[in-house]
Every structure is written in structure tokens, then in C-alpha cells.
Structure 1
Amino acid sequence: MQTDDFQKFQDGIAGVMGFYGKSVSRFALDVWWTALKRYDLAAIVDAFNRHLANPDAGQFAPKPADVIRMLQGSTQDAAMRAWAKVDQAVRSVGTYCDVVFDDALIHRVVQDMGGWIALGAKAEDEWPFVAREFENRYRGFCSRSERPQYPATLIGIAAAHNNLKGFKNDHPVLIGNEQLALQVLRGGTDRPALGLKRMSVALDETVGEALHSQTRLMSEQRKAG
């Protein structure tokens, strides 16, 4: 939350506790604020609503720990849903094409993990560890209510090659909700995560490795099918 959210937060806490016939002291409000300020206000409201509707715990006034438990569960669910999109996109679209997801945070997490091309170069036996790293990073941003800068497009092998050669790129593949993906595209930065000089040194090796990995993955999928 931001400092500007404090009054709404205070009114919300007072309203919830009033529902249980309890008043809230200034000290208690400070405790609530300190415990929950790293979360998004909308997520906190949702967690309170879910606590109130909980048939087991909803009869008791919530404590900060109850709300945090709800919030952490929701961030885990969000991280798992986000990873499912990434996993499906790698397997169905591949990392040869540029992609734009309908979730800006996916772009930032993938960028922090080395980029779209590097993700596609991972071997199948590395995939569970990649999934865990992605989910942990995604949850970290969610729990801190961060809205970090992110690349407008996750660059694939073809675009990386074209950028170095000065060729025109195709339109990126939109993943998920098309309208939301277009919003992500418009809201991102075009600043590359790697300098072009550094990219040119490593590109041949990265592209070859990624293509080899994609070929192996497709072969494994055909055998499994």
C-alpha cells in the first residue's frame, strides 16, 4: 500500500472489527498497518472478505496473521497461474517468436531470469527448478505490491537475430487475453535488458543452444504423444 491508502485502510479495519463488536485502538491500527502495508489494498480487502465468509474462521475477529495467511495463499495461486501460462507458451509457441503476455509481471520475472530465449534453452529435467524460481520471484513482487518496469516484449530468437542485422521484426504473439496483452505491450519499456554489444557476442551460442533445446523438447513431446 501507499501512504495515501492509510485512511481507507484505517476505515476498513474499523469497519471489519466493528462487525465483530470490537473497537480498534491507535496502537492496534499501527500494528495492522505495519503487518499489511507491503500488500496491495485491493488484495487486503479481498482477504478480509474471504475471512468473513470462511465457515470455519469467519465467526472470529481476524488477526493480522489470519489476513496474511489469506494473502500468501492468493499470491501462491497467482504465481502458479502465471507459470502455467509461461509453461504452455514455451511448449506451444516456443521461444523463436516474440511474445507478449497479458500479465506484465510475467515479463519482469522472465527478464530477471535471463530472458525468453534463455528460458527456452532449459532442459526438461531443469524445468521443475525453473518453475519454482519463477513462482518464488513472482510471489516476491506480489507480496511487496511492487509494480516494476518490464520489457514491452519478450524477445525471441528471430527478433534477437533481426535486431543485430537491422532487419524488420514480425508482430509478437499475444498470450492470454488479447486486450490485456496489448495494454502490457503499450505499458512496457523498449530498453533492452542486455546491451547490443553484449548480445552480439553471446547470440550465436544462445541461439544454437535454444534451437537445440526446442528441437529436443518437441521430440520428447512427440514421443510422449
Structure 2
Amino acid sequence: MERRLISRDRLGEMLMGTYTVYRETLSKPILEIWWKLLQGKSQEDVERSFGIYLNSHTRLPVPADIIGLIEGTDEEKAIKALNMVEEAMEKYGAWKSVVFSDPLIHVVIGQTGGWIKVCRLTEKDYVWWAKDFRERYRILLRYPDENREIPERLPGYADLENRRNGLPESKPVMIGFGVQKEAIHVEGRQEKAISGSARRIP
């Protein structure tokens, strides 16, 4: 199930309530700043983070406070990414090609043998792979590289067969993109918003 992204109206309602609690006035310019920084976040994450903040702080939050709660620590981010991979493996397996909203997942899976190999790991091997995934993911977070090559998609069996037979690649499964996130498949390529200016491998 795809996550629902926070809407401008819903964010405005939450901020109006929050500012009222702290006896402050929410202006349109301030709302616009919040919206620019939080658009693209899931509604569930934003609501949860505001709840956590209001239960533990006595000052008015700034965007960095909420973003920090949403994104969590590097380990939390790695676990969240791994959970996304596990769900995709269970739902789609090695047959379908996949595109994750998080480009670092592509990097780690590419480094560890590719989508098909990962999906075929035994239960014992997967335990070690999952640990390796988290470690690699944390390193990528700590040492970002704008020139790092990121696979555009993680090919499954279907696309490998298509390539062998000279057929066009099939449309991949988009994973982790919210219902409001636009992901357009054009001539076998995925055009999507990904942070950074890393080069893409077709």
C-alpha cells in the first residue's frame, strides 16, 4: 500500500493548531516555508512527528525539529530502507524489475549482487546480507557523493529475458512513491524526482 503524502491543507491545519497551543500567529509566509520543507513527506510521518514533539517540548517547533523526527537516526533510516526492500521481495520477488524511491537502496543492492541475487538468498544468507545492507546504507548516508552512479532500475528476470530476446524492457514496479508522487515511464526510462545530481545508469 502506497503512503499518502501530506497535503498543504492538512499541514496548514496541523500548524494552525500547533501555533494556537503556543499562542503564536501562523502567517502565510511561515506556512509556505513549512510546506516547501515538508511536501513529499508522508502524512502519517508528519502527524506522528508533531505528536512526539508536542508531548516532549515546551517551545514552538521549527521545521528542522519535525524533519529530524521524521528522518530519525542513520540506523533508523537503514532499517526503514531494509523494510522497504523486504516488503518488495515478498510482494514482487525476482521476476519484476523494481524502482525504489530511495536511490541509496539501488546502490546497496547493486553493490551486493543485484535484485535477482538478493531475492534468491537463503534464509541463513539473508541474515548476513541484511546486516551488510544496513552497514553499507549508513556509510552511504555519512559520505554522500554527488558523482556516485546509481542504477536507474533493479532488473528482474523478466527484463533479462527481454534483453536476451531483443525486446524492450517492461515497466518496473515503483516502490515507496506516494500516491501524489509523479513517476512517468517514458521510452523504457523512469523520470522521477531524486535528490542530488548523481548520474544515472540506463
Classify the TM-score, shorter chain: 0.5 to 0.7
Larger helix percent: 1
One-letter code aligned to 2:200: T
The within-5 A match list for 1:113-192 is: 113-147=112-146, 148-178=148-178, 182=183, 185-186=190-191, 189-191=200-202
One-letter code aligned to 2:90: R
Q: Look up the match of 2:23.
A: none
- Cα deviation, 1:126-168, whole Å, max 9, x if unaligned, reads 2211111111111001011334221111100110111121012
Residue 79 of structure 2 corresponds to residue 80 of structure 1: yes
Aligned equivalents of 1:150 and 1:180: distance in 2? Answer: 20
One-letter code aligned to 1:113: T
The within-5 A match list for 1:29-68 is: none
% identity of equivalent residues: 29
* Gap runs ≥5 in structure 2: 1-36, 38-53, 57-71, 193-198
Aligned equivalents of 1:161 and 1:103: distance in 2? Answer: 26
SS state of the match for residue 174, structure 2? strand
Larger strand percent: 2
Determine which structure has more spread, i.e. the larger CA radius of gyration: 1
Q: Is the contact between residue 102 and residue 181 of structure 1 (CA under 8 Å) also seen in structure 2?
A: no
Q: Is the contact between residue 149 and residue 201 of structure 2 (CA under 8 Å) also seen in structure 1?
A: no
* Gap runs ≥5 in structure 1: 1-41, 43-52, 56-72, 192-225
Task: Please report the TM-score for the alignment, with normalisation by the length of structure 1.
Answer: 0.49
Aligned CA distance change for structure 1 residues 181 and 79 (closer, same or farther; 3 Å) = farther
Aligned residues: 128
Q: Is the contact between residue 75 and residue 134 of structure 2 (CA under 8 Å) also seen in structure 1?
A: yes
How far does residue 177 in structure 1 lie from its aligned partner after superposition? 1.4
